[in-house]
């Protein structure tokens, strides 16, 4: 009987001899960061608030688990330094001053908070440096003026401002436009981009250019310059890439056919829509069957075995 | 040599001149550091080839200074860039000179860089313990080439524009990462107004900062590890000259002697 009573008393005494403190924990910091995120999110965006809420809940629970470990009589996790030190370790440590858990905690906290601050500052900056290059990279529709300027069966060198006033001369692009005549009462166009698909130089029409018939049209998107030409094909001055009149590669380093533009006819005007890349062209003119792909940078394969090198086309 | 006793005035003058130096040294140790740098031991066989690194550094400093001054007059916007370059070249006082220094200095720097690299390679100066300095040098070479690439666009004439189109598209041809690299370089799907300011910022802020930092590291390692003697000298082959009276050669390790592996007590060379 006495033994049974003594046993808990002994236990109590032992517990009183030690301070009743939960072991140090880092979770409150993360919990506080979560709360701060919730508050920021209330102003900025609900996504941030949701992330903050998740963080606060997760780290709050972890904190509670740590703090209540003594009450729940769960054993403290074993200290990691259970490995018996070797002679070398002892020798190496002999010179070091004694280290205390508190000092270690402060060291860790300093490094951790420093890393957090560094990350919070660096990430948005890096994002700003990289992000805009990938976001909202569209092509504007370009009005090229009335259809009458594109007589059937003739190529017109069309130089236009692809981005209006926003880019100015830097946005100047050239397309080779041929009216293929009426198909089901609607005019059909072949619109070949002037950008060589080798490395992006401007391709030139191979054939006479009627400079004297050059004319300028004031369209909605800015000035459009139209010059008739009779090309047998297109050639690139930079590295000798050659294409036929349908834009198919006939010689030289290009890896696919010339890009083309989608188009629409709006209120009697020819309007350029988004460009697209072309693999092969079967047939010609209005009957051409065009193997279309998402617009790729020059030099990137869109078909054939080499396309596996370009799994993601932006 | 007997030194003449100095007059009181001379002593006073000397003290007055040295006082600021002492003040600086006591508070910063900079004078001592400079002395250590300038009077450190180098191999006796150091020759003109060893000056190529300093020459490259000088070329870079010329680029940095002329570039900073050109930036006072250059306007990195598509509508003004070409005109501002024309104004620098034709209208502004001595503009042609400074722009010419920057333009030709760029080539000079790249040429010197390659010569310096060749010297390091042929002298075997990239070997232990100097491998890290070779690696830093490689990064410096890449950054210098990038400086050339980004700087080439800035005149914003047809040559600059189309050369950059081709250069960017070459990079955009890389497998898998290509399209990302292309967009990253041009700041968008195509070369546009963003590209010019982007290249300008990279050319005159990001890269020079990195180059300055890496040159500092490069020089620190040169001072710490010492200058490599040319390979045809005895010290390089592992023989140590006796050091009586003369300063010992620099270099971290004295390599094991070749030949039959023995040296005389005085360290004099044995038969080859």
Give the closest of A134, A299, A312 to B173, CB-based: A299
Q: Mark yes or no for CB contact A298/B184 under 8 Å.
A: no
B92 closest CA partner among B108, B109, B72: B72
Give the closest of B169, B175, B178 to A199, CB-based: B169
Distance from CA of B186 to the nearest CA of A (A): 7
Residue of A nearest to B168 (CA): A199
CB-CB neighbors (< 8 A) of A293 in chain B: none
Q: Check CB contact of B189 with chain A, cutoff 8 Å.
A: yes
CB-CB neighbors (< 8 A) of B172 in chain A: 297-300
- Tens-place pLDDT, residues A78-98: 555 555 555 555 555 556 666
Distance from CA of A13 to the nearest CA of B (A): 59
DSSP E strand stretches across chain A = 142-146, 155-161, 172-183, 186-193, 204-206, 215-219, 222-229, 233-235, 242-244, 249-251, 257-266, 269-282, 289-293
pLDDT for res B252:
44
Lowest mean pLDDT among A33-42, A67-76, B3-12, B42-51: A67-76
pLDDT for res A285:
84
What size, in residues, is chain A?
314
Q: Check CB contact of A313 with chain B, cutoff 8 Å.
A: yes
Distance from CA of B154 to the nearest CA of A (A): 14
Count CB atoms within 10 A of the CB of residue B254: 13
Q: Mark yes or no for CB contact B192/A312 under 8 Å.
A: no
CA B198/CA B203 separation, integer angstroms: 8
Give the closest of B172, B176, B180 to A299, CB-based: B172
Confidence of residue B264 (pLDDT cuts 50, 70, 90): very low
Q: What is the pLDDT along chain A (314 residues), one digit of tens a residue?
A: 444 444 545 555 555 555 556 567 888 888 999 999 999 988 888 889 999 999 999 999 998 888 777 677 666 665 555 555 555 555 555 566 666 788 889 999 999 999 999 999 999 999 998 888 888 788 889 999 899 889 988 999 999 998 877 777 888 899 999 999 888 888 899 999 999 999 999 999 999 999 899 989 888 878 899 999 999 999 999 999 999 999 999 999 999 999 999 999 998 899 999 999 999 999 888 888 999 999 999 999 998 888 888 888 87
Give the closest of A167, A296, A314 to B183, CB-based: A314
Confidence of residue B194 (pLDDT cuts 50, 70, 90): confident
Identify from A166, A200, A296 which residue to disrupt to test chain B contact, counting B C-beta atoms within 10 A and taking the largest count.
A200
Q: Check CB contact of A58 with chain B, cutoff 8 Å.
A: no
Q: Mark yes or no for CB contact A310/B186 under 8 Å.
A: no
Residue of B nearest to A312 (CA): B176
pLDDT for res A56:
93
Q: Check CB contact of B162 with chain A, cutoff 8 Å.
A: yes
A153 closest CA partner among A227, A203, A228: A228
pLDDT for res B261:
43
CB-CB neighbors (< 8 A) of B183 in chain A: 133-134, 137, 314
Residue of A nearest to B183 (CA): A133
**CB contact residues (below 8 A), chain A span 177-236, against chain B:** 198-202
Token readout for B229 is: 């003697």
CB-CB neighbors (< 8 A) of A299 in chain B: 169-170, 172-173, 178
Q: Check CB contact of B180 with chain A, cutoff 8 Å.
A: yes
- Tens-place pLDDT, residues B119-153: 999 999 998 889 999 999 999 999 999 999 999 99
Predicted ipTM?
0.71
Q: Is A111 exposed, middle or buried (0-12, 13-18, 19+ CB in 10 A)?
A: exposed
Q: Check CB contact of B176 with chain A, cutoff 8 Å.
A: yes
Give the closest of A132, A167, A297 to B169, CB-based: A297
DSSP E strand stretches across A67-213 = 142-146, 155-161, 172-183, 186-193, 204-206
CB-CB neighbors (< 8 A) of A309 in chain B: 175-176, 178
CB-CB neighbors (< 8 A) of A199 in chain B: 165-166, 169-170, 173
Buried b / exposed e along A23-56 (16+ C-beta atoms within 10 A): eebebeebbebbeebbeebeeeeeebbebbbebb
Angle at A221 between CA A218 and CA A224, to 5 degrees: 45
pLDDT for res B258:
44
| Contact (Cβ atoms closer than 8 angstroms) between residue B102 and residue B109 | no
CB-CB neighbors (< 8 A) of B166 in chain A: 199-201, 238
- Tens-place pLDDT, residues B85-99: 999 999 999 999 999
Q: Residue A46: CB partners within 8 Å, gap ≥ 6?
A: none
Q: Mark yes or no for CB contact B176/A311 under 8 Å.
A: yes
């Amino acid at each position: 009987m006495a033994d049974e009573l003594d046993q808990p008393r002994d236990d109590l005494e032992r517990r009183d001899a030690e301070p009743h403190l939960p072991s140090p924990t880092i979770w409150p910091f993360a919990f506080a960061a979560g709360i701060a995120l919730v508050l920021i999110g209330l102003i900025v965006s609900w996504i941030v608030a949701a992330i903050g809420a998740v963080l606060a809940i997760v780290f709050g629970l972890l904190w509670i688990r740590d703090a209540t470990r003594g009450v729940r009589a769960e054993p403290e996790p074993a200290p990691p330094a259970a490995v018996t030190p070797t002679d070398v370790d002892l020798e190496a440590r002999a010179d070091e001053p004694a280290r205390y858990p508190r000092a270690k905690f402060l060291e860790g906290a300093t490094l951790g908070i420093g890393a957090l601050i560094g990350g919070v500052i660096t990430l948005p900056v890096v994002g700003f440096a990289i992000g805009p290059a990938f976001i909202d990279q569209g092509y504007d529709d370009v009005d090229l003026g009335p259809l009458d300027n594109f007589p059937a069966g003739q190529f017109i060198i069309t130089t236009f401002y692809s981005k209006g006033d926003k880019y100015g001369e830097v946005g100047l692009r050239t397309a080779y436009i041929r009216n293929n005549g009426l198909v089901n009462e609607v005019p059909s166009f072949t619109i070949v981009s002037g950008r060589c698909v080798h490395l992006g130089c401007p391709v030139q029409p191979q054939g006479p250019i009627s400079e004297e018939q050059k004319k300028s049209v004031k369209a909605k998107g800015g000035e459009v310059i139209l010059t008739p030409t009779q090309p047998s094909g297109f050639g690139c001055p930079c590295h000798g890439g050659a294409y036929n009149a349908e834009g198919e590669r006939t010689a030289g380093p290009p890896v696919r056919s010339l890009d083309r533009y989608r188009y629409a006819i709006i209120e009697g005007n020819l309007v350029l829509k988004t460009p697209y890349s072309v693999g092969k062209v079967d047939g010609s003119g209005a009957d051409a069957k065009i193997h279309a792909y998402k617009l790729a940078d020059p030099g990137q394969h869109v078909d054939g075995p080499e396309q596996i090198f370009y799994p993601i086309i932006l | 040599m007997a030194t003449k006793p100095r007059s009181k005035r001379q002593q006073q003058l000397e003290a007055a001149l040295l006082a600021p130096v002492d003040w600086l040294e006591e508070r910063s140790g900079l004078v001592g550091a400079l002395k250590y740098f300038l009077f450190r031991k180098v191999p006796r066989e150091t020759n003109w080839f060893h000056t190529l690194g300093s020459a490259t550094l000088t070329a870079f400093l010329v680029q940095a200074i002329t570039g900073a001054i050109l930036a006072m007059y250059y306007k990195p916007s598509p509508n003004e860039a070409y005109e501002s370059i024309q104004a620098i070249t034709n209208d502004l006082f001595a503009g042609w000179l400074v722009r010419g220094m920057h333009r030709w200095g760029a080539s000079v720097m790249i040429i010197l860089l390659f010569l310096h690299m060749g010297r390091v390679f042929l002298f075997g100066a990239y070997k232990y313990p100097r491998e890290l300095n070779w690696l830093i040098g490689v990064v410096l070479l890449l950054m210098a080439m990038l400086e050339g690439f980004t700087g080439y666009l800035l005149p914003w004439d047809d040559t600059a524009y189309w050369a950059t189109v081709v250069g960017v598209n070459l990079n955009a041809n890389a497998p898998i990462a290509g399209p990302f690299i292309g967009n990253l370089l041009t700041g968008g799907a195509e070369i546009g107004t963003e590209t010019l300011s982007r290249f300008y910022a990279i050319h005159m802020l990001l890269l020079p900062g990195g180059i300055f930092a890496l040159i500092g590291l490069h020089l620190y390692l040169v001072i710490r590890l010492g200058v490599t003697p040319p390979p045809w000298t005895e010290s390089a082959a592992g023989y140590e000259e006796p050091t009586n009276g003369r300063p010992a050669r620099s270099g971290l390790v004295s390599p094991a002697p070749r030949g039959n592996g023995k040296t005389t007590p005085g360290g004099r060379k044995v038969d080859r």
